[in-house]
Structure 1
Amino acid sequence: MTGNSLTGNSLTGNSLTENSPAEGPLTGQDRRQALLRRLAALPPARREALRRAMTGASAVPGLPLSSGQERLWFLNRFDPADSSNHILWCLRLRGPIDPGGLAAAFTAVAGRHEVLRARYRMDGDRPVQVVPPPEPVVLELADGGADPDAAVIALFDRPFDLERHPPIRVALIELGEGHALLCIVLHHIAADGWSLNVLMREVGECYAAHREGRRPALEELPARYADFVAWERGQAERVGPARLAFWTERLAGVPVLDLPADRPRPPRWTGRGGRVELHVPDAEVVRFERVAGQQRSTLFMALLAAFQATLGAAAGQDDFCVGVPVAGRGRTEFAPLIGYFSNTIALRADLSGDPSFRDLLGRVRPATLRALQHAGEPFERILGALRLPRDLSRPPLCQAMFNLTHNLPKDDLLRTAMGDLGVEVYPPPETGRTRAEISVDLYRGPEGLGGSLEYGSDLFSAGTARRVAAAFTALVTRAGTDPDLRLSELSRLSGISGLKGE
């Protein structure tokens, strides 16, 4: 640096260490006081530059994190080996695979989206993200051997060092005969479900462009993830107090969901989990949708009500919270970005008075609509405002989660070609991780309702999870036929008699 810089007028010539001849010799204490006065007179930006130069800190200024990122950062610091906040996506590739082209495609996308190459560290008492210049994304090569799922799980489980390495890793796992698995693992701090579709759209275009010797046909991004962080902070100042008041009033005094467990609860939540599949045939879903429509409810609202009824019967409770993820991209300029935008809203169940399923829908619908009107309030701020008792053995506030992935873009996730390669989704193996004690993730397809139930394996056996899944799907089927049955009767007919036991 030259001119008015740390090597110019700041530390040499007319500098902090110069004595005026008129002042005469200075004592050590005089020198320290003079130095402090001159430091105090520097502009803030110059003081910060000097501090970084003297301490060896990065010259790249740190950017603030979003509320969701801050929580994920502290969870990672608390348990760096926990992979429950990793996102996995795998594709089977067929054809003349070009590893160099794949690496170049991911490198190009990371060059467009700063969040894919950010590093996270503490700056004083706050975490910041530092974005280095674009750098190559390494494509790892592995042999799938006789058990490619084991290679996938090893890639998924490997911890992210968020301070030193980017929050994305990519591997090509050879299967032989011109087949390979392209496996992508992202830390949640840099991406969400919506981001996966953006990532695959841009990687597909960049790979095709590389193979065809042309420039990728990608539009310039209208914003950066840092713009979302600034917008979120501005929202917190403008409308945050009213939104927060809604949630603190709505959730005051909510009890934990205390499901009867097969095993003693460990003192600390570990995130270890398992998964069982769910399915409801199309004809039964159509009847269930008809009931929902009669109450002016969506399929999402009706399935949430059925899940609440299942949990309430299993736990013997009529009051608890179910967490629901929302996209969190309230502005159009955020739609084409990769980043962690998703938020969780806590929907409080009200099963009091043993209502009919139809009456329960009449409660769930307005409660869901009001919650969605206030969905922009970050979950982390709600947790802080509620001042819940500290309990490391459970996920905070929402021990159960529910998701219907009907509103997320997925055309590029389900793509069948990438350049000259044939592509199909490779069902990810069970990772053994979960973010809730019990959660349901569903999708509506032409064959009906599909999805999975994940469960905390520290608490529940696989047999218990299968019974809960069967009871939930049975309740959906029965409610579609007899929506005026009370929940107690629906639960009895669906076989919900508690979770415990094989």
Structure 2
Amino acid sequence: MTAPDTREALLRRLAALPPARREALRRSLADRAAVRLPSGPLSSGQERLWFLSRFDPDDSGNHILWCVRLRGPIDAAALAGAFTRVAGRHDVLRARFRLDGDRPVQVIPPPAPVELTRIRLDGGEQAVIDEAVAVFFNRPFDLEREPPMRVALMEIDGEHAVLCIVLHHIAGDGWSLDILMRELAECYAARREGREPALEELAVTYADFVAAERREAEASGRERLGYWTARLAGVPALDLPGDGPRPPRWSGRGAKEPLAVPDEVISGLEGVARRERCTLFMALLAAYQWTLGAAAGQDDFCVGVPVAGRGRSEYAPVIGYFSNTIALRADLSGDPTFREVLARIRPDTLRALARADVPFERILGALRLPRDLSRPPLCQVMFNLHNLPKDDLLRTSMGDLSVEVYPPPQTGRTKADVWADVYRGPEGLGGYFEYNSDLFSAATARRLVQDFTGLIARVGADPDLRLSEWKG
């Protein structure tokens, strides 16, 4: 029977119903149509990401990647069920983002099974895995029609696979990935053992955070926003010399250059920081500012620093986009010593952290910066210090599976001209410089890394070194 015949037959059956039955059916259908899924506003950070996704839906620059290697008897059904259980606990992992009139909202559908994409790989060579991960990572999200998380099990053989999680930043952050992995491990083990997962009930949801952010912005955010607009007024863009002209539109194409500083060298910098009543973060930020300022010939610019944005303890176990960016303005004027740069950074950082709850997007709006599609707004460079090596983020097992972090491959994306992502581990300082490959070659990025690590060694031994005395 063709589709038109089916429709005509249905209409004939409806017409044959008694009038009272037809009216009852009409009311029932109208009631069903009126049912709306729960929806609510977006946070300030989410709104910016939503507009960016509309502007360039194919951009994967706001995707977050996490991969682990699994060895042992892998139960794909239990793994999919564990993801479903976690997504059922955290509404934002199921959200759809769409327009309601003239404003974006997040619509929360009821819990549903999470799709686990299974990809069979021919061989376990790293190049083969990396290519498959990069393709899966860079696939765009349709935020209006699909959930903001997707997962794939890349199977090498029956007892060896790489689990790949891609989360759109609109639904989470680095902290959220830690929560996700720990809950996933517990839910998987529980399914394998035939028990309920030992997860405490969440006191709040991400929607509660969004509501609180809006209330605080209206009630007490004016003074803190005023601090930022006064502190950042007139700050110039950092214009690092590159290997080619800056494209008229920011592409987000990127690559990474690794870095390593031995323990005995980074310990010298830590000693300087302690004597100056500073943290290692402040000392590394000073070295980063000095390196970039010297390369660009500038003494005034901003470095963006991610912060967790979870000021209340009840937010700690909730998945969502809580993280914020604070803009720290460099002051390298007057040919300072490294010790003097530290003395400037310490109070500035403390004042900034006391106002770190002001959404970066509100600051951008209040500053009314000129529109420039060729570069990230306000902060062209970023710096992030992790407390632990990334390999330590997952300390638990997944039932009878052995789990190890799989180093993320080059995904070809970045969100800054240069982004230093480093950690202090037992063997020293590790990490990488992520850089815009439209602007810089690998050789130029390598020189920046060498300048940064070389400076750490110099000022760790001689904190009275002046900017003009340093030759890189």
Q: How much does 1:173 deviate?
A: 0.4
- Aligned equivalent of 2:276: 295
Q: How much does 1:176 deviate?
A: 2.1
Q: How does 1:303-382 map to 2 (within 5 A)?
A: 303-382=284-363
- Aligned equivalent of 1:262: 243
- Aligned equivalent of 2:365: 384
Q: How much does 1:149 deviate?
A: 1.1
Contact 1:92 1:425 (C-alpha < 8 Å) held by counterparts: yes
Tell me, in whole angstroms, the C-alpha distance in 2 between the residues paired with 1:319 and 1:80.
34
Mean Cα deviation higher: 257-266 or 180-189: 257-266
- Aligned equivalent of 1:139: 116
Deviations 1:164-186 (A, max 9, x none): 00000011001126210011000
Q: How much does 1:328 deviate?
A: 0.2
Contact 1:416 1:422 (C-alpha < 8 Å) held by counterparts: no
Contact 1:193 1:408 (C-alpha < 8 Å) held by counterparts: no
Residue 403 in structure 1 maps to residue 387 in structure 2: no
Residue 96 in structure 1 maps to residue 76 in structure 2: no
What is the aligned length?
442
Q: How much does 1:57 deviate?
A: 7.9
Q: How does 1:119-130 map to 2 (within 5 A)?
A: 119-130=96-107
Instruction: Point out where structure 1 has 5 or more consecutive residues left out of the alignment.
Output: 1-11, 14-52, 495-502
Tell me, in whole angstroms, the C-alpha distance in 1 between the residues paired with 2:444 and 2:92.
40
Deviations 1:157-215 (A, max 9, x none): 11000000000001100112621001100000001011111001100000000000001
- Aligned equivalent of 2:466: 486
Amino acid at match of 1:427: P
Q: How does 1:14-33 map to 2 (within 5 A)?
A: none
What is the TM-score of this pair, normalised by structure 2?
0.91
Summarize the Cα distance change of 1:178–1:486 in structure 2 as closer, same or farther, 3 Å threshold.
Answer: same
Contact 2:236 2:300 (C-alpha < 8 Å) held by counterparts: yes
Q: Secondary structure at the match of 1:330?
A: coil
Of the candidates 32, 41, 62, which is equivalent to residue 85 of structure 1? 62
Tell me, in whole angstroms, the C-alpha distance in 2 between the residues paired with 1:379 and 1:221.
27
- Aligned equivalent of 1:472: 452
Amino acid at match of 1:67: S
Residue 277 in structure 1 maps to residue 254 in structure 2: no
Deviations 1:363-388 (A, max 9, x none): 00000000001111000000000000
Amino acid at match of 1:415: R
Residue 149 in structure 1 maps to residue 126 in structure 2: no
Amino acid at match of 2:437: S
Q: Secondary structure at the match of 1:478?
A: helix
Tell me, in whole angstroms, the C-alpha distance in 2 between the residues paired with 1:97 and 1:255.
53
Q: How much does 1:124 deviate?
A: 1.1
Residue 445 in structure 1 maps to residue 425 in structure 2: yes
Give % identity: 70
Q: How much does 1:60 deviate?
A: 1.8
Deviations 1:76-106 (A, max 9, x none): 1111110010000000001000000000000
Residue 110 in structure 1 maps to residue 87 in structure 2: yes
Q: Secondary structure at the match of 1:435?
A: coil
Tell me, in whole angstroms, the C-alpha distance in 2 between the residues paired with 1:444 and 1:144.
34
Residue 423 in structure 1 maps to residue 403 in structure 2: yes
Contact 2:74 2:158 (C-alpha < 8 Å) held by counterparts: no
Q: How much does 1:260 deviate?
A: 1.1
Amino acid at match of 1:212: E
Amino acid at match of 2:461: T
Tell me, in whole angstroms, the C-alpha distance in 1 between the residues paired with 2:139 and 2:395.
27
Q: How much does 1:61 deviate?
A: 4.0
- Aligned equivalent of 1:461: 441
- Aligned equivalent of 2:18: none
- Aligned equivalent of 2:4: none
Q: How much does 1:489 deviate?
A: 1.4
Amino acid at match of 1:158: R
Tell me, in whole angstroms, the C-alpha distance in 2 between the residues paired with 1:95 and 1:164.
35
Contact 2:181 2:394 (C-alpha < 8 Å) held by counterparts: no
Contact 1:106 1:137 (C-alpha < 8 Å) held by counterparts: yes
Q: Secondary structure at the match of 1:418?
A: coil
Residue 203 in structure 1 maps to residue 164 in structure 2: no
Tell me, in whole angstroms, the C-alpha distance in 2 between the residues paired with 1:264 and 1:359.
35
Tell me, in whole angstroms, the C-alpha distance in 2 between the residues paired with 1:372 and 1:60.
38
Amino acid at match of 1:216: P
Tell me, in whole angstroms, the C-alpha distance in 2 between the residues paired with 1:460 and 1:247.
31
Summarize the Cα distance change of 1:335–1:203 in structure 2 as closer, same or farther, 3 Å threshold.
Answer: same
Q: How much does 1:144 deviate?
A: 2.2
Tell me, in whole angstroms, the C-alpha distance in 2 between the residues paired with 1:143 and 1:477.
46
Q: Secondary structure at the match of 2:40?
A: coil
Tell me, in whole angstroms, the C-alpha distance in 1 between the residues paired with 2:121 and 2:35.
40
Summarize the Cα distance change of 1:484–1:290 in structure 2 as closer, same or farther, 3 Å threshold.
Answer: same
Of the candidates 421, 435, 456, which is equivalent to residue 415 of structure 2? 435
Q: Secondary structure at the match of 2:369?
A: coil
Deviations 1:255-311 (A, max 9, x none): 000111211111110100010001100000111100011100000000000000001
Q: How much does 1:409 deviate?
A: 9.9
Tell me, in whole angstroms, the C-alpha distance in 1 between the residues paired with 2:325 and 2:388.
15
Instruction: Point out where structure 2 has 5 or more consecutive residues left out of the alignment.
Output: 1-22, 25-29
Q: How much does 1:415 deviate?
A: 2.6
Q: How does 1:10-89 map to 2 (within 5 A)?
A: 59-89=36-66
Deviations 1:425-476 (A, max 9, x none): 0001010100000110010000000000010011111110000011000011
Contact 2:389 2:425 (C-alpha < 8 Å) held by counterparts: no
Q: How much does 1:410 deviate?
A: 8.1
What is the TM-score of this pair, normalised by structure 1?
0.86
Q: How much does 1:238 deviate?
A: 1.6
Contact 2:389 2:424 (C-alpha < 8 Å) held by counterparts: no
Tell me, in whole angstroms, the C-alpha distance in 2 between the residues paired with 1:58 and 1:381.
34
Q: Secondary structure at the match of 1:254?
A: coil
Summarize the Cα distance change of 1:58–1:255 in structure 2 as closer, same or farther, 3 Å threshold.
Answer: farther
